[in-house]
Structure 1
Amino acid sequence: MAVCARLCGVGPSRGCRRRQQRQGPAETAAADSEPDTDPEEERIEAGAAALSGAGVGRSAGPSPPPRCSLLELPPELLVEIFASLPGTDLPSLAQVCTKFRHILHTDTIWRRRCREVLHRYRHILGLWQPDIGPYGGLLNVVVDGLFIIGWMYMPPHDPHVDDPMRFKPLFRIHLMERRSATVECMYGHRGPHNGHIQIVKMDEFSTKCNQTDHHRMPGGRQEEFRTWLREEWGRTLEDIFHEHMQELILMKFIYTSQYDNCLTYRRIYLPPGHPDDLIRPGLFKGTYGSHGLEIVMLSFHGKRARGTKITGDPNIPAGQQTVEIDLMHRIQLPDVENLRDFNELSRLVLEVREQVRQEQEEARPDGGEGRGHQSPREPQGPAPPSAEPPTEKGRGPGEGAVVAVAEQPAQSGQGQQFVLPMGVSCRNEDYPRTCRMCFYGTGLIAGHGFTSPERTPGVFVLFDEDRFGFIWLELKSFSLYSRVQAAFRNAEAPSPQAFEDMLKNIQSLTA
């Protein structure tokens, strides 16, 4: 055992692979807490030292250099060493000791493994949007231990926007082989089975299941449909028969047919941030009436903010710009009592829409965008002399007003009381009762199949750093959005232009 310890360089009580293979988790943990020395090893080393000392006395030669264990090397150096080893050796190396096992979970090692060992899949890590009809989706491909796994992220069950995201594995790639890899489909309820991945180009790949019989359930299509409803919607077929039947049948048909055949994924990036942004951009979960919860990407583009659908529905498909916020036209809401009157809110919003229309007409003769070139932080008129928002002529300060200036949330003072006007529907009544500020915006509405799309005026309501809402004036409904708190790696855009190109690409697919 002492000889094995010298070969490993870690000592038999802490990391000997032969010993650990005979121990369970509890024994291994106990061994990790023992001293680094072993009586047997000390006896052998003492004997070796005595022989060495005798030899020195006779020959007076140089003393041997002191032993150095791999455990004494800096973690950064160990990462470089382990990254150069063959992939088939890494599982055995992970069994040596706890420190080695932790180091082998370093992303740097596996990113290099993806480039060198699995060169065919070196572009696959990151965020992707599947092409599933109008519904889209969010796929996160990550390194997890000895696998590359594609996790499908789904919103929580309607209407709980603050709940964490749900996720399930769709495929995985073994990181064991030196020159090839084994791809497995994880869809269905019968465990991993044979699959295939094809890299179309750097920003696109496709998956295919080679054993679609594993997707079937013993009870047939009816049991599959009921199980899918419980998992995807959190409700039974009887609960939602009348409200969603036609849409659910279409959704299940599209999902099943796509997973049974070939599914294409296109890369998406997280929106880049800027210190002047109203809030940190990113992914949000939002309520969309009877369609349930959907995933929206909030990004900032100069004087405007946009919400792009990552998941969609039969009316507004994924990839479309669901809301647009005009950061140059802030709306000062009336007090709570007056805010309860929907007609009062409607009057305020329509006044802003008319103002925006007039500004656009004034900008047309010069062939440019006029004031559209201003920064979203620049006021269109004289700045107010104090933090008190300006009021329109003939209107009292408590009756609401249009403020053509966008200010930082930290500079907006105390939050204002907020309540939805009477008659405005809301899937989640647990919305915040105070807000920071509001802006004029437009929302995209359309008929079934994305027919007759048009933009309707509304109000963007900023509650805090992680929540905002949108009042759809024409629909008399309210959508509440909550930030997706999951951390996504390898999802940053290489440049602002690359992000803009990505948005145009996913929108053009459903236009």
Structure 2
Amino acid sequence: MAVCARLCGVGPSRGCRRRQQRRGPAETAAADSEPDTDPEEERIEAGAAAVAGAPGGRGAGPQPPPRCSLLELPPELLVEIFASLPGTDLPSLARVCTKFRRILHTDTIWRRRCREVLHRYRHILGLWQPDIGPYGGLLNVVVDGLFIIGWMYLPPHDPHVDDPMRFKPLFRVHLMERKSATVECMYGHRGPHNGHIQIVKKDEFSTKCNQTDHHRMSGGRQEEFRTWLREEWGRTLEDIFHEHMQELILMKFIYTSQYDNCLTYRRIYLPPSHPDDLIRPGLFKGTYGSHGLEIVMLSFHGKRARGTKITGDPNIPAGQQTVEIDLRHRIQLPDVESLRNFSELSRLVLDVRERLRQEQQQESGLEDGGAGGRQSPREPQQGPAQPGAELPAEKVGEAGGAEAAGAQPGQGQPFVLPVGVSSRNEDYPRTCRMCFYGTGLIAGHGFTSPERTPGVFILFDEDRFGFIWLELKSFSLYSRVQATFRNAEAPSPQAFEEMLKNIQSLTS
């Protein structure tokens, strides 16, 4: 109700709860000691009562029929009357008398007022992914006082995955009275300017800037490019002159052209959580070689976990499933000295892949053969966790890497990257809880020749995990996004699954 009061301009009034909450102890005590009515209020009430109930007057002629005062109307009717008035009139009305002030605190009035003020823009509240070529993005649209603001969230500068997210406003809607509002574009360095929002359908909307000259800098394109490098990458032009310059120029061109024209957003949801999940699902920041840091959504689907790219790059675009973890196939890492040998890790992973291939062939044969028709695949035998051994999904969270490696419970298993495996971040954890077989998606520039290759998923703790890309001999470190996103929960598990299919189909 306090937010609604701010939206409707009632915040400064004497009866506003938001103002009462901001009072100090002395102010609160003084306010509480004030009488509920003042002389002017008593005069109004007395006059109203006299008009409504006086049977006669000073004149000798016939008296007019008694008139009904607003004060005598039932509270339910007064609620309906007050709810239809402009919000700017409500503060004055609250000062008329105690009864009016009490009625104006009715939640029914504020719910209706909120619906009027938010108008059709209430549909854009939530979490969104902008359609910016292969790069995607993360936008959270929230109500903030008299504004609806669209905040674009950006990962930290490479390779600091544990740093907090960066964010900046892209647009805002200034809420007005009588279902009206003004839209302002916030992109660029020259302040708010005229913009437009079109709601395409329930889960899709678009924005357009009407004054793109506000996006330009006085120093021209070169100054814009240098500023963009500092803000988006935290590096200067000279630092990265020899490192993917063509890609950066293309990225900047796509960003600028999109913000100068119409930009479309599609709704996304945070993944639902289940009691038997390995860790809490959510958004993570991850290193992707020279592409910098990207945002990945980790979600759990029975005996598998998936990492879906919310932001992408020219090789693997946003929306694609970058990693998939098979939670049935736990990998027991060797001791640290043996782990330094990349060939030893490669042998363990390829053994699991071969075992999976054989199981798939076996299951396929059982389904196709037999006089009795289709048969159920053979259930895997359970036993101690061995390289490639299956682990029931319900037991995944109970057994840690420390127990599998013979270490004391709670200590974790020592971990080190094998020699020859490249990593953007050398400050990775040196202990892990458990490891699983997984596959990672790789492709050429422009998402050409995509294929899934084997790798290792390493769970470090509740907020960090890693993935070793065997074919690329590369390591990606992921850290949980700690920001709180509003209006981002999926209405149902089915809605979340449908959302994943939709964002992946856009780039397939």
Which interval holds the TM-score relative to the shorter structure?
0.7 to 0.9
CA drift at 1:106: 14
State the SS of the aligned residue for 1:232: helix
Deviations 1:121-167 (A, max 9, x none): 22110000000000000000000011100000000111111111110
State the SS of the aligned residue for 1:14: coil
Per the alignment, do residues 255 and 81 of structure 1 end up closer, same or farther by CA in structure 2, a change over 3 Å counting?
A: farther
State the SS of the aligned residue for 2:5: helix
- Answer with 102-111 or 275-284: which moved more: 102-111
Deviations 1:280-303 (A, max 9, x none): 110000000100000000000111
Q: Is the 8 A contact 2:51 2:66 kept in 1?
A: no
CA drift at 1:25: 16
Per the alignment, do residues 384 and 313 of structure 1 end up closer, same or farther by CA in structure 2, a change over 3 Å counting?
A: closer
What CA distance in whole angstroms lies between the structure 2 residues aligned with 1:341 and 1:509? Answer: 40
Q: Is the 8 A contact 2:287 2:294 kept in 1?
A: yes
CA drift at 1:119: 2.9
- Answer with 26-35 or 320-329: which moved more: 26-35
What CA distance in whole angstroms lies between the structure 1 residues aligned with 2:498 and 2:201? Answer: 16
Per the alignment, do residues 103 and 230 of structure 1 end up closer, same or farther by CA in structure 2, a change over 3 Å counting?
A: farther
User: What is aligned with 1:145?
Assistant: 145
CA drift at 1:205: 0.4
Q: Is the 8 A contact 1:381 1:404 kept in 2?
A: no
Q: Is the 8 A contact 2:174 2:181 kept in 1?
A: yes
Per the alignment, do residues 353 and 11 of structure 1 end up closer, same or farther by CA in structure 2, a change over 3 Å counting?
A: closer
What CA distance in whole angstroms lies between the structure 2 residues aligned with 1:336 and 1:343? Answer: 14
- Answer with 442-451 or 64-73: which moved more: 64-73
Measured on the aligned residues, the alpha-carbon RMSD in Å equals 7.8
What CA distance in whole angstroms lies between the structure 2 residues aligned with 1:449 and 1:236? Answer: 26
What are the ranges of 5 or more consecutive residues in structure 2 without an aligned counterpart? Answer: none
* TM-score w.r.t. length of structure 2: 0.76
What CA distance in whole angstroms lies between the structure 2 residues aligned with 1:258 and 1:293? Answer: 21
| Percent of pairs with identical residues | 91
Q: Is the 8 A contact 1:332 1:401 kept in 2?
A: yes
- Answer with 425-434 or 355-364: which moved more: 355-364
Deviations 1:398-424 (A, max 9, x none): 999999999999xxx541111111111
Of 355, 364, 367, the residue aligned with 1:365 is 367
What CA distance in whole angstroms lies between the structure 2 residues aligned with 1:463 and 1:75? Answer: 60
What CA distance in whole angstroms lies between the structure 1 residues aligned with 2:21 and 2:139? Answer: 37
Q: Is the 8 A contact 2:287 2:293 kept in 1?
A: yes
Q: Is the 8 A contact 2:197 2:205 kept in 1?
A: yes
- Answer with 102-111 or 162-171: which moved more: 102-111
Q: Is the 8 A contact 2:186 2:193 kept in 1?
A: yes
- Answer with 114-123 or 321-330: which moved more: 114-123
Deviations 1:212-269 (A, max 9, x none): 1111111111111111111111111111111021111111111111111100000001
User: What is aligned with 1:444?
Assistant: 441
CA drift at 1:174: 1.4
- Answer with 14-23 or 3-12: which moved more: 3-12
What CA distance in whole angstroms lies between the structure 2 residues aligned with 1:391 and 1:419? Answer: 26
- Answer with 279-288 or 351-360: which moved more: 351-360
Deviations 1:171-207 (A, max 9, x none): 1111222122111111111111111111110010000
Q: Is the 8 A contact 1:208 1:262 kept in 2?
A: yes
Q: Is the 8 A contact 1:130 1:265 kept in 2?
A: yes
CA drift at 1:117: 3.1
- What are the equivalent positions in structure 2 for 1:336-375 lying under 5 Å apart? 336-359=336-359, 362=364, 365-366=367-368
* TM-score w.r.t. length of structure 1: 0.75
What CA distance in whole angstroms lies between the structure 2 residues aligned with 1:155 and 1:443? Answer: 21
CA drift at 1:37: 12
What CA distance in whole angstroms lies between the structure 1 residues aligned with 2:256 and 2:10? Answer: 52
Q: Is the 8 A contact 2:127 2:141 kept in 1?
A: yes
User: What is aligned with 2:254?
Assistant: 254
What CA distance in whole angstroms lies between the structure 1 residues aligned with 2:220 and 2:9? Answer: 57
What CA distance in whole angstroms lies between the structure 1 residues aligned with 2:3 and 2:375? Answer: 74
Per the alignment, do residues 55 and 68 of structure 1 end up closer, same or farther by CA in structure 2, a change over 3 Å counting?
A: closer
Q: Is the 8 A contact 2:339 2:417 kept in 1?
A: yes
State the SS of the aligned residue for 2:407: coil
Deviations 1:318-340 (A, max 9, x none): 00000000000000101111111
Q: Is the 8 A contact 2:161 2:478 kept in 1?
A: yes
What CA distance in whole angstroms lies between the structure 2 residues aligned with 1:144 and 1:329? Answer: 46
Per the alignment, do residues 256 and 414 of structure 1 end up closer, same or farther by CA in structure 2, a change over 3 Å counting?
A: same
CA drift at 1:367: 9.1
- Answer with 377-386 or 118-127: which moved more: 377-386
Per the alignment, do residues 451 and 62 of structure 1 end up closer, same or farther by CA in structure 2, a change over 3 Å counting?
A: farther
What CA distance in whole angstroms lies between the structure 2 residues aligned with 1:83 and 1:368? Answer: 73
What CA distance in whole angstroms lies between the structure 2 residues aligned with 1:387 and 1:61? Answer: 105
Per the alignment, do residues 227 and 2 of structure 1 end up closer, same or farther by CA in structure 2, a change over 3 Å counting?
A: closer
- Answer with 78-87 or 292-301: which moved more: 78-87
Q: Is the 8 A contact 1:283 1:483 kept in 2?
A: yes
What CA distance in whole angstroms lies between the structure 2 residues aligned with 1:169 and 1:459? Answer: 38
Deviations 1:73-100 (A, max 9, x none): 9999999999987455689999999999
Q: Is the 8 A contact 1:94 1:101 kept in 2?
A: yes
CA drift at 1:488: 1.1
CA drift at 1:115: 3.5
Q: Is the 8 A contact 1:9 1:70 kept in 2?
A: no
User: What is aligned with 1:378?
Assistant: 379
Deviations 1:31-60 (A, max 9, x none): 999999999999999999999999999999
- Answer with 376-385 or 277-286: which moved more: 376-385
CA drift at 1:386: 18
Per the alignment, do residues 81 and 56 of structure 1 end up closer, same or farther by CA in structure 2, a change over 3 Å counting?
A: closer
1:416 equivalent to 2:418? Answer no
User: What is aligned with 2:476?
Assistant: 479
Aligned length, in residue pairs: 503
